[in-house]
Structure 1
């Protein structure tokens, strides 16, 4: 088993999208350039739910990653990495 810690939210979103994409490129971790490994506790992965629906394209991944920033209070915006 392989445990993974992702550094970027886009990698997390991409990882979950691997379960409903047949594209070889979608199976690669953008942080390492290697195929995504298996979760250390497979029972925690809701495969039935993850395989329902279309795979995410780059535009949707970017939108999902950007959406939390729209919820940030103005006084905390200077703390965001740009």
Structure 2
């Protein structure tokens, strides 16, 4: 029996598995807009000249901010 690679295994307890950070940002900016997003999560990449590209760069380097964005995304899905 072939051994499965860890990337091939399912992550049933991770609701964000398989969802790209870019897709999360697209969803949040469409739902809230940059201004409200900056009020909900107080980070400069949402306040000063915001863009998906600059936000992705910041969030990939800043785990605490990325976690806040992911939590807001999950919360927004529960409200549907």
TM-score (norm 2): 0.29
RCO greater where, 1 or 2, for CA within 8 Å and sep 6 or more? 1
More helix by percentage: 2
